Chain A
Amino acid sequence: MINQDILFLAIITLSLMCLLFLLLLYLTIRKAKEIKKRREIEDYKNKINTQIFSIIAEGKRYRGIGCETAIKQKAMEELLSRYVKILEGEEEKERLSDLASDCLQGYYQKRLKSIRWSHRMNALYHIEDFYMIKLLDEVVILSKKKNITHQELIHVLRILATFQYNGLKEVLYYHDLSEYEYRSILMRLNHDLFDQFVLSFHKSTSPLQYAILDVISLKKAIEYRFFTENIFMSYKGEVRLRALKALAEIGYVSNIEPYLHLLHSSSWQERMVAAKLIGSIQEEKGIPRLIELLHDQIWWVRSQAGQSISQFPNGKAILQSVLETSKDTFARDMAWDWLHKGV
C-alpha cells in the first residue's frame, strides 16, 4: 500500500521533472535561435541600408537586393518602416511604396492568409504604412471573410479608407462599429467619399451619426455648416448636441438667435455647448447671459462661461468687474480662475 503510494508520487515527480527540463531545453534553444536570427537581420540591414536610402531618396535603380529569405524580408520591412516615419516628400513616399510592392508583396499576400493572428495583423499594419495599394483586392477579400476578428476588421476598414476604396460605404454599413471606430475610419476619407456618408446621414445608426458630426467638428469643416445647422434644427438629444459642438468648432452660424435661446436651456449640456459657441464666434449679444452663467449650478457650465467670456477682446475687463462687483462666490471664484489662467 505504502509502496504503491510512493511509486505513484515518484512517477508524478519524475514526469514533472521531465516536463520542466523539456521546457528549459525549448526555451534555451529558442532563445539562442532568436539571438542568431536577430544578428543576421541586423547584418543584412547594415549591408543594404545605404542602397535602400539612395533608392528612396534619389530614385536610383536597384539591383541585387534580395528578398527571397524570411530574414531578408524582415530586414527590408524594418528598414522601410524606419524610413516611412521620417519621409516627407510625395515622390520619396511613392518610391518607397514601389520598392515595398516589388520586394514584399508576395510576402504579405502569404501573411494575410496565415493562421497566426499576429502575422495577419502585422501584414495589415505594414500594408497601410507602405501604402501598398496593389494589395487592395486582397484586403477587400479579407473584409468579406466570416471568421475575421474584430481588430482585424477595424484595421481592414481603415486601410480601405486610406486607399479611398469606393465600395467602403457598403462594407461599413454591413458592420456594427463603435463611435470611435467609425470616427477613425471616416477621418481618413477624402472629401468625395466623406460626402457619401453625409448624404445618407438620416439613414445611419447613431454611432455613425455621432462620428460624422465629430469628424466635421475635428476638421473644422466649414463647408458642412449648413448641413450641421440643419441637423441641429431637426434632431433631438445627443445628435443635436454634437451638431452644436461641431458648430462651436467651426465658429460660424447663419443666424445667432436660436443659439442665444439655448443659453437658457434646461439641459446643462446644451447651456454649456451654447456658451462655447457664443465664445467661439464672439457674439456680443450673448455676453450678459454668459455673465449670468458664471453662477450656474453646474460647474462645467460655469467654467465654460468663464472661458467664453475670456475669449472676447474685452473679456478680461468683464471678468474683472464680475470679480469686484458680484455677490455670488461661485461666479467670483470662476472669474478669478479665468483671470489667472496659467502663469
Chain B
Amino acid sequence: MLNVQWLDFVSVFAWFIAVYMVIVIVFYSVILMISMLQLRKEYQLDRIQAYEDYMDEFYTRPVSILVPAYNEEAGIIQSVRSLLSLNYPTFEIIVVNDGSTDGTLEKMIDQYEMKEISKVVRKQINTKPIKTIYQSTILSNLFLVDKENGGKADALNVGLNFSHYPYFCSLDGDSVLEPDAFLKVMKPIIDSNEEVIASGGSVRIANGCEIKNGHILKIGLSNNPLVIMQIIEYLRAFLMGRIGLSRHNLLLIISGAFGVFSKHWTIEAGGYKTDTVGEDMELVVRIHRLLKEKKVNKKIVYVPDPVCWTEVPEDMTILRRQRRRWHRGLFESLWTHRGLTFNPKYGSIGFISFPYFWVVEFLGPIIEFLGYIFMVLCLFLGGVYIEFAILLFLLSCLYGSLFSMAAVLLEEWSLTKYPKVTDIIKLFLYSLTETIWYRPMTVFWRCEGVWQMLVGDKSWGEMKRKGVSK
C-alpha cells in the first residue's frame, strides 16, 4: 500500500520537475535569442569611434562617483588613482569614509593632501551625521566625507546628499574601471534624451588578469576552477540574461559593482534602503515601482560592454557566504515588493520580471535541491529507473553547458576577447563539468540562504579581499 502511494508521488514529482525544466529552458532560450540578435548586430562595430562624440563636454552630463569605504586602507589609494585617470569630461569623486576603524581616513588625507572645508550639504535623505568634509588641494574634484558608521547604504546616501551633479555612480572599493566606463554607460542616457534614467554595464572578473595601478594590462584566465566557473556564470548572467531583459525594460538588477543612476529619481524613490542586504536590487525595484505609479515612461537599461573588473572569491567559505547573502537579498527585495507580482498596475514588470525572479531565480535552487534529495530517496525506495535518471542527468548537464557555451560565443561577439584558443577550450571543458559539482554546490548554498532567512539570521558575512591591483 505504502509502496503504491510512493510510486504515485514519484510520478507526480517527476512530472513537476519535467514541466519546470521545460519552462526554464524555454525562457532561457527566448532570452538567448534576443541577446544573440542584439550582439550579432553590433559585432565588430568600432566602439571607440562610437563613443568619441560623447567626449565633448557640451553633450555629456557630469557624474558624481560615490566610493563608500569601510576599512579599506589597503586598496583605497589605488581605487581612487584608477578613477582619476578616467576618460570623461566632467566628474567628481566622493569617498565616503563610513566610520572606518583603520587608517583609511589618514591615508586619504596624506596621499591627496586633503583639507577641511565648510560646506552646506543639501539633506534630501536622512542619514547618520557627517563629521567632517575634506577636499583635496591638488585635485579640486576629489572630496572625502567622514561620517559615523552606518553601513554601505547609509554611506551611499550621504554621498548622494553631498554630490553636486545630476547623475551618480556607486562603486565598490575594489572595482577596476575601464577608462571608457562612463562614456559607455552614459551613452544610452544621453542618446535617449534622458528617457533612460539608470544604466549598468557588464562586470567582468579580474582574478587572473594582470592589473597595475588600477589598469588592466592583460586579460587572462585564472587557473582556479572556482574562479573559472564564476567567469562562466558571469558571462551567462550578463550577456544572456541582462541583454534580453533590458531590451524590454524588465531589468530588476543593476550590479552594485557599477551602475549610473539619475540622482533626481533615486532621491524621489527615497535613496538606498539601509536595512537590507540587497540594497542595489532593492533600489532598482523601487525606482521601477515609482515610475509605474507615476505613469512616466522612463527606462533602466544594461550595456553589454565590459565597464568594470571586480575580484571574486577564490575559496569556498567566502563564496558560500556571498551566495547565501545574494539569495537572501533577492528574497528580501522580492518579498518587500511582493505586491507587484501579477499586479496589472505594474505591467510587464509585474507579469514577467517578478514571476521570472520568483520562479526561476528564487525558487529554482529550492526545486533543484528537492530534486537531488528526491533522486537519492528513489535509489533507496525505488521508483526511478536508473537509466532514466542517468539520461535526465546527462540532459541537464548538456543544457547547462549549452547555455554556457552560447554565452562564450556571445562573449566572442561582444568586445573583450580572451586572447588564446586554449582559453576557449578551457572554458568549454569546465562548463561541461558544471552540473557535477559547481551547480549542486551553489544550489545548496542558496538554500542555506533561504534557511538563514527563515531562522532570522541577519549577518552580512565578512568579505575578505586579496586586492587585485599591484
Contact = CB atoms under 8 A, between A and B. Distances in A.
B395 A12 contact: yes
A15 B185 CA distance: 40
Interface string A25-52: 0111011101100000000000000000
Interface in A50-87: 81
Nearest to A2: B385
A184 interface: yes
Given A24-B428, A31-B421, A17 B398 contact: yes
Interface string B310-342: 000000000000000000000000000000000
Interface in A111-132: 116-119, 121-122, 125-126, 129
A229 interface: no
Interface in B111-155: 115, 117-120, 122, 135-137, 140
A122 B41 CA distance: 12
Contacts of B115: 343
Nearest to B134: A343
Nearest to A338: B120
B140 A187 contact: no
B388 A184 contact: no
Nearest to A179: B193
Given A16-B399, A23-B409, A343-B140, A180 B193 contact: yes
A299 B161 CA distance: 13
Contacts of A2: 385, 388
Given A31-B421, A179-B193, A343-B137, A23 B405 contact: yes
Interface centre among A16, A30, A179 (most CB of B within 10 A): A16
Contacts of A20: 398, 401-402, 405
A250 to B, nearest CB: 16
B388 A122 contact: no
Contacts of A342: 117, 135, 140
Contact of B59 (A122, A184, A333): A184
B427 to A, nearest CB: 9
Nearest to A24: B428
Nearest to B140: A342
A179 to B, nearest CB: 6
B394 interface: yes
Given A16-B398, A333-B120, A31 B58 contact: no
Contacts of B192: 178
Main SS at interface, chain A: helix
B140 A118 contact: no
A218 B58 contact: yes
A337 B44 contact: no
A265 interface: no
A233 interface: no
Contacts of B408: 27
Contact of B118 (A181, A184, A340): A340
Contacts of A10: 391
A16 B398 CA distance: 7
A125 B388 contact: no
B59 A125 contact: no
A237 to B, nearest CB: 18
Interface stretch (B45-53, B75-83, B219-227, B299-307): B45-53
B462 interface: no
Contacts of B84: none
A122 B421 contact: no
Interface range, A side: 35 or more
A342 B140 CA distance: 7
Contacts of B120: 333-334, 336-337
Contacts of A299: 122
Interface string A178-217: 1111011001000000000000000000000000000000
What secondary structure prevails in chain B residues at the interface with A? Answer: helix
A20 B425 CA distance: 12
Interface in A144-194: 158, 178-181, 183-184, 187
A178 to B, nearest CB: 4
B374 interface: no
Nearest to A154: B191
A32 B412 CA distance: 12
Contacts of A317: none
B135 A13 contact: no
A310 to B, nearest CB: 14
B50 A24 contact: no
A13 B394 contact: yes
Contacts of B59: 180, 183-184
B42 interface: yes
Nearest to B118: A340
Given A125-B50, A180-B193, A27 B409 contact: yes
B370 interface: no
A256 interface: no
A76 to B, nearest CB: 15
B387 interface: yes
Most chain B C-beta atoms within 10 Å of own C-beta, residue among A10, A129, A343: A343
A6 B395 CA distance: 12
B424 interface: yes
Most chain B beta carbons < 10 A, residue from A6, A31, A333 = A31
Contacts of A17: 398
B43 interface: yes
Contacts of A118: 41-45
Given A9-B391, A336-B120, A342-B135, A27 B424 contact: yes
B190 interface: yes
Contacts of B377: none
B378 to A, nearest CB: 15
A12 B399 CA distance: 11
Given A12-B395, A28-B424, A180 B388 contact: no
B135 A187 contact: no
A305 B42 CA distance: 47
B223 to A, nearest CB: 20
Interface string A211-250: 0000000100000000000000000000000000000000
Contacts of A126: 46, 49
Given A13-B398, A19-B402, A35 B193 contact: no
A121 B402 contact: no
Contacts of B216: none
Interface in A272-325: 299
Nearest to B48: A81
B321 to A, nearest CB: 33
A179 B420 CA distance: 45
A132 to B, nearest CB: 14
B392 interface: yes
A88 interface: no
Nearest to B425: A28
Contact of A35 (B137, B190, B392, B421): B421
7 contacts: A5-B388, A13-B394, A118-B45, A125-B50, A178-B193, A179-B193, A181-B193
Given A125-B46, A126-B46, 14 more contacts: A6-B388, A20-B402, A23-B409, A27-B405, A27-B412, A27-B424, A31-B420, A117-B41, A118-B45, A121-B50, A122-B45, A122-B46, A299-B122, A343-B140
Interface of B: 41-46, 49-50, 53, 58-59, 115, 117-120, 122, 135-137, 140, 190-193, 385, 387-388, 391-392, 394-395, 398-399, 401-402, 405-406, 408-409, 412, 417, 419-421, 424-425, 428
Minimum-distance CB pairs A-B, first 4 = A125-B49, A118-B45, A9-B391, A178-B193
